[in-house]
Amino acid sequence: MRSIAEPRRAIVSCKHIFSSYASDCSTLTSSYRSTKRRLNGNISNAKVFQISFDDERKFLVNNDKLLRTSLDPLSPSFYSHHHEETMPSDIRYQSETSDYGSCSTDPEQQFSPILFNNDNQSSFSFSIINNNNNRRSKSSSSSSSSSLSSYESNHKIICSCGKENFQTRKRYKRYMRKTSYESYQTKRIKTNYRSKYRKQNFNNSLIKFSIDLTAIQPPPTRSWLRLSSPNTTQPTAIFTVMNYNILCDKYATRHVYGYCPSWALKWDYRRKQILEELRSYSADIIALQEIETDQFYSFFLPELQKNGYDGVFSPKSRAKTMCEQDRRYVDGCAIFYRQSKFRLIKEYLVEFNQLAMLAANGTSCHDMMNRVMTKDNIGLVAFLETKEEIYSHTFSNGVLPSDHRQMLFVCTAHIHWDPEYCDVKVVQTFMLLSELKSIMDDAIQKHRPNLNTSVDCATVPLVLCGDFNSLPDSGVIELMRTGKISMNHADFKDLCYDSYLKKYCRLDEDLTPSNDIIHHFKLQSAYETTATSPIMPYTNYTYDFKGIIDYVFYSTQLMRVLGVLGPLDPEWLQTNKIVGCPHPNVPSDHFSLLVEFELNPTSNENLKNSTISISTRRQ
C-alpha cells in the first residue's frame, strides 16, 4: 500500500492534452496559447513526468516553476519505455481559479485548474480530472500494477489520443473521434474567421488607401512658358509638337515600379489617362515612343481619328522575327498629325541593326556586330506638307503666303537605354542623322522634281524628337547641339568604330581628315537648358533616376520656338511625397514635352537658293 506520507502524483503523459483541452474549453487565455505554442514546438523526446497532487484540494499547490515536458505518444519509444521523473515534493505550486475548470457536465468529474508559471516566462493553465468514482471498476486489475493503476485511474489528465490507457481504449477512441470532429469544426471555424478577417483588413486597407488617395490633389496644370512672339508682318505657319514616352505595358511591372499601386500600373487605367492628356493638349503633331503595335491599331489610332488625327507607326526590328500573335505586343514609335493642317507625303523607317550590318567592315566589324547590331531600336520619319489651315490663326489675318505648301520632316526615335552602352547610343544617333540626310535627298528628288537632287540639309525644316536616353552632358547631345564629336570621346570607350566614322570626318584646311566626325544639320533643343536654370529639371522621374533624357530638336535657321510647356509643379511632388512615376495621377515615368513652333515662310525660297548654289558649285 501507498504510504500516508507519500505524495499523490498525477501523470502528464501526452502533449495532446493542450490541443484536446483547447477544443473542449470555450475560453482560453493568451498566456496559455503562447506557452502552448512554445511547448509544442520544443517537444522532441517521449518522456513522462509525475508531479505532486493534493488529494484534498484536488489541485496542485506550491509551484513557482514551469513544468517542462516533451512527450510524443505517437512515437514507438513512448510505449517501449517510459522515463518517469518525479518532481521534488518541496516544489511550490500556485493554484488559479477559472470558470473553464467546470467544462464537464458530470458533477462527480470536475476539472481542477492548475497554473504552472515561471518568474521570467508566461504561464499556462489546464485541468486535471479526479475520478474517485472509477475506483471500483479499476480495482479488478492485476495486483502487480494495482497501486499505479489505481493512482492513474484516480488522477489522470485526459489525453485526446487515448493510447496510453489500453483498458479504456475503445471508450477513448469514441471520444477521440468526437474530439477530432470537433477539432476539425473548430479549425474550420477559425479558418473561415481568419479568411474573413483578412478580407476585412484588406478592404479596410483599400478604403484607407482610397481615402489617402483622395487626399492627394491632382497635379496643378503645367504652366505655359512664352518665349517669343509670332511674326505679325507676314503670314507664318504656327503649329505645336508633342513628344511623349508613354511607358509600354510590358515594362510597367511591380518589380521596377513597386512604389506605384498595382491598379495604377494596369494598362487599361493608364491608357485612358494618356489619351486624356493627348486630347487636352491637342498638339498638331504627336510623337510617341514605347507604344505597342496592337494598342496603336486598336486603341490610339481609332480614338485620335475621332479628333481629326491620322498616324504612322513602326514596331522595333524584332517584330520581323516573330509570329503574328507575338508581334502584336512589340513596342515601337508612332507619329500622329492633324489632317486639317498637314498632309502625309511619305514615311520612312530607320533600323539601326540593319545599318550596323551594312557598316560592319574592317576594324569596326567586331564591335559593330556585337554591340550595335544586337540592339533593335528604330527611328521613324514622316515627310509632311503644310495645308492652308495652318495659317488660319489670329496673327496671319487670313492672308496666305504665295507658296503655302511647305515641307516639314518630323522624326522620332528611341535610342538604346543601357548606360553601359553609351558608345552604342552615339553610333545610333550618328546613324540616324546620316540616314536623315539620305531621306531628305530622296524625298526632294521624288516629290520636288523642280528642285535639284542635292540639298543643304540645314535649309530643310526638321523636327527631331524622342527618347534619347542620354543626359545633357553626354556625347549624344554634344553631337546634336554642336554638330561634331571627337572620335576620342569617352563615350566611345576606346572601341573600334574608326572604319565607319572616318567617312564622316571633317576636313581641315589642308584637306586632311581631322579627328572630329560631323553632321550638317543646324539643330538646337527647344528646351535649351543651362546649368543654373533649366526649363525642365527632369523628363524622366522614377525612384532611382531623375534626369533629362527626352528632347525636341529643331532646325534653327528655318524655325522659331514661340513657347514650351513647363514642368510639373515640384511643390506638388514634394508635398505629396511622390518619390517616382508612374503615379495614379501621372500615367508614365516620362513627362510629355510640348513645343509651339513658327515656320519661317521663306524656307522654300532658301531651299531653292541652296539647291541652285550647290548645282553651280558642281558645274
Q: Which residues are designated catalytic?
A: 467
Q: What are phi and psi of 121, to 5 degrees?
A: -130, 155
Could you tell me how many helices (H) and strands (E) the chain has, helices first? 18, 25
Q: Please give the DSSP secondary-structure letter assigned to residue 6.
A: S
Which residues of 87-148 form beta strands (DSSP E)?
94-95, 111-116, 124-130
Nearest to 390 by CA among 596, 605, 551: 596
- Which neighbouring-strand residues pair with 91? none
Collapsed DSSP state (helix, strand, coil) of residue 551: strand
Collapsed DSSP state (helix, strand, coil) of residue 1: coil
Cα separation, 538 vs 575, in Å, equals: 18
Cα separation, 472 vs 547, in Å, equals: 9
Cα separation, 228 vs 549, in Å, equals: 25
- Which neighbouring-strand residues pair with 334? 288, 313
The alpha carbon of residue 434 and the mean position of all alpha carbons in its chain are separated, in whole angstroms, by 37
Q: What is the DSSP string of 184-249?
A: HHHHHHHHHHHHHHHHHHHHHHHHHHHHHHHHSPPPPPPPEEE--PPP-SS--EEEEEEEEE---G
CB 401 within 8 A of CB 354: no
The length of the chain in residues reads 619
Give, in degrees to the nearest 5, the angle at Cα 199 between 207 and 578. Answer: 40
Q: Provide the residue type at 582 as one letter.
A: P
Residues 6+ apart with CB under 8 A from 571: none
Residues 6+ apart with CB under 8 A from 449: none
Task: Tell me the helix, strand and coil percentages in the chain, rounded to 5.
Answer: 40, 25, 40
Cα separation, 412 vs 464, in Å, equals: 6
Cα separation, 232 vs 268, in Å, equals: 45
Which residues of 178-317 form beta strands (DSSP E)?
224-226, 237-245, 285-292, 309-315
Nine-digit cell at 260?
Answer: 506605384
Query: Within a 13 Å sphere around the CA of 343, how many CA atoms are in the beta-carbon half?
Result: 11
Q: For the stretch 209-227, what's the b/e string if a residue is b when 16 or more beta carbons lie within 10 angstroms of its beta carbon? A: eeeeeeeeeeeeeeeeeee
CB 480 within 8 A of CB 551: yes
Q: For the stretch 8-46, what's the b/e string if a residue is b when 16 or more beta carbons lie within 10 angstroms of its beta carbon? A: bbbbbbbbbbbbbbbbbbeeebeebeebbeebeeeeeeb
The alpha carbon of residue 350 and the mean position of all alpha carbons in its chain are separated, in whole angstroms, by 31
Cα separation, 477 vs 68, in Å, equals: 75
Q: What are phi and psi of 287, to 5 degrees?
A: -110, 120
Collapsed DSSP state (helix, strand, coil) of residue 114: strand
Cα separation, 129 vs 125, in Å, equals: 14
Cα separation, 39 vs 51, in Å, equals: 17
Q: Please give the DSSP secondary-structure letter assigned to residue 307.
A: T
Cα separation, 562 vs 391, in Å, equals: 15
